[in-house]
């Protein structure tokens, strides 16, 4: 029987797991659950005889792929797939997919929630400021960036965006001002929200010169990936520019150093952008359906290792 493993170090909400189970069992497959695992060995053992895997930010590297002798497909229930070794997967004839857009609203809502929390001084009771009328720069206008724009406009923010892969007219059609470069986006914005994936091109690209070009009182908010930040340079900048703030949903490697910037730095303890019942259900069910579609009918929509 076709076996589908859900391997989630950070588990889905219970209704999402129930929905996934339903789809998998209705297809005549068997569901295997590995949640909250703490050792890689647990993952290596669990993958040994499965045909398909659903993951979140769980790492699928060459060692995992070597251990998964029957594996045909891995679906990352979410957007970013930097946690999967695509080359190794292709070499093992394993199809890799993501579920783009399914958790985007959840991440976008967190962005605005964190921004309110930040401009109100982390709810310490002192007079803060409002988001209305502030310039928000969205770096990358994908599913999350578009949702951030939609909600930010509801707050009355003045929204700008830059996306190297999205034409300006698409950005403008969403009622957002398109700027010509990421440099311009940082210069024009009071707040910059990052929505770029972690790729060889973007890793460490958010550096001192970019963030340092922000206006007085600038806020950088990161709900994307920690890898896109040049941490040593950002630490240096925060020490020099005591007006800047860094807010993140992905705890930096150098969290202890950032934590010294009291009142100007905040990190969630564990990435929680996509941690809602709705996002888990949307992404989890999409992943289960994509696995059934691939195994039964060879559907490869959303494959990322073509
Ligand atoms: C994504 O890429 O979909 C988000 O970063 C969510 O990741 P998570 O499933 O690990 O919460």
Helix (H, G, I), strand (E, B) or coil at 231: helix
Shortest-distance Cα residue to atom 6 of ligand 1: 274
CA of 295 from ligand 1 middle (Å) equals 24
What is the pTM (predicted TM-score) of this model?
0.98
CA of 160 from ligand 1 middle (Å) equals 24
CA of 243 from ligand 1 middle (Å) equals 30
One pLDDT digit (tens) per residue for the chain, 306 residues? 999 999 999 999 999 999 999 999 999 999 999 999 999 999 999 999 999 999 999 999 999 999 999 999 999 999 999 999 999 999 999 999 999 999 999 999 999 999 999 999 999 999 999 999 999 999 999 999 999 999 999 999 999 999 999 999 999 999 999 999 999 999 999 999 999 999 999 999 999 999 999 999 999 999 999 999 999 999 999 999 999 999 999 999 999 999 999 999 999 999 999 999 999 999 999 999 999 999 999 999 999 998
Q: What one-character-per-residue DSSP string does 257-300 give?
A: HHTTSTTTEEE-SS--TT-SHHHHHHHHHHHHHHHHHHHHH---
| CA distance linking residue 52 with residue 72, whole number of Å | 6
Supply the pLDDT for residue 102. 98
Supply the pLDDT for residue 263. 97
| CA distance linking residue 143 with residue 105, whole number of Å | 8
Residues with CB under 6 A from ligand 1: 10, 56-57, 78-80, 103, 271, 273-274
C-beta separation of 195 from 149 below 8 A = no
Q: Which two tokens stand for residue 133?
A: 């009328």
Mutate to test the pocket of ligand 1, among 273, 277, 282, 284 (most ligand atoms within 8 A of CB): 273
CA of 291 from ligand 1 middle (Å) equals 19
CA of 271 from ligand 1 middle (Å) equals 8
Ligand 1 atom nearest the C-alpha of 78 is 3
Shortest-distance Cα residue to atom 10 of ligand 1: 57
Ligand 1 atom nearest the C-alpha of 271 is 11
| CA distance linking residue 8 with residue 57, whole number of Å | 8
Ligand 1 atom nearest the C-alpha of 275 is 11
82-120 burial string, b = 16+ CB within 10 Å, else e? bbbbbebbeebebbbbbbbbbbbbbbbbbbbebbeebbb
Torsion 15-286-270-95 (CA) sign: positive
CA of 239 from ligand 1 middle (Å) equals 30
CA of 240 from ligand 1 middle (Å) equals 32
Mutate to test the pocket of ligand 1, among 78, 105, 106 (most ligand atoms within 8 A of CB): 78
CA of 80 from ligand 1 middle (Å) equals 7
Shortest-distance Cα residue to atom 3 of ligand 1: 78
Supply the pLDDT for residue 35. 98
Mutate to test the pocket of ligand 1, among 13, 79, 282 (most ligand atoms within 8 A of CB): 79
Q: Which residues pair with 135 in a beta bridge?
A: 158
Q: Provide CB contacts within 8 A for 26, sequence distance 6+.
A: none
Give me the torsion for CA of 272, 16, 199, 266, rounded to 10°: 0
Q: Which helix or strand (DSSP H or E) is residue 135 part of?
A: strand 135-139
Shortest-distance Cα residue to atom 11 of ligand 1: 274
CA of 168 from ligand 1 middle (Å) equals 27
């Amino acid at each position: 029987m076709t076996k589908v493993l859900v391997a989630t170090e950070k588990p889905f909400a219970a209704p999402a797991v129930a929905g996934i189970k339903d789809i998998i069992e209705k297809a005549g497959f068997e569901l295997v659950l590995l949640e909250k695992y703490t050792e890689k060995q647990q993952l290596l053992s669990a993958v040994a005889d499965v045909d398909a895997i659903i993951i979140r930010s769980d790492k699928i590297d060459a060692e995992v792929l070597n251990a998964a002798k029957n594996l045909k497909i891995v679906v990352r229930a979410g957007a970013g797939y930097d946690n999967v070794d695509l080359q190794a997967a292709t070499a093992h004839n394993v199809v890799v997919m993501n579920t783009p857009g399914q958790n985007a609203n959840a991440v976008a809502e967190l962005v605005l929630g964190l921004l309110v929390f930040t401009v109100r001084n982390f709810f310490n009771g002192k007079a803060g400021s409002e988001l209305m009328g502030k310039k928000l720069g969205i770096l990358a206008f994908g599913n999350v960036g578009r949702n951030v724009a939609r909600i930010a406009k509801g707050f009355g923010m003045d929204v700008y965006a830059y996306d190297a892969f999205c034409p300006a007219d698409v950005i403008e059609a969403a009622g957002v001002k398109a700027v010509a470069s990421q440099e311009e986006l940082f210069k024009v914005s009071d707040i910059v929200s990052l929505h770029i994936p972690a790729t060889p091109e973007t890793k460490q690209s958010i550096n001192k010169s970019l963030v340092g070009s922000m206006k007085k009182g600038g806020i950088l908010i990161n709900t994307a990936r920690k890898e896109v930040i040049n941490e040593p340079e950002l630490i240096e900048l925060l020490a020099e520019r005591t007006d800047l703030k860094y807010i993140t949903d992905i705890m930096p490697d150098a969290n202890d150093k950032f934590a010294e910037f009291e009142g100007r730095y905040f990190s969630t303890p564990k990435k929680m952008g996509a941690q809602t019942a709705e996002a888990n259900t949307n992404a989890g069910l999409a992943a289960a359906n994509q696995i059934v579609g691939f195994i039964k009918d060879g559907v490869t929509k959303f494959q990322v290792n073509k």
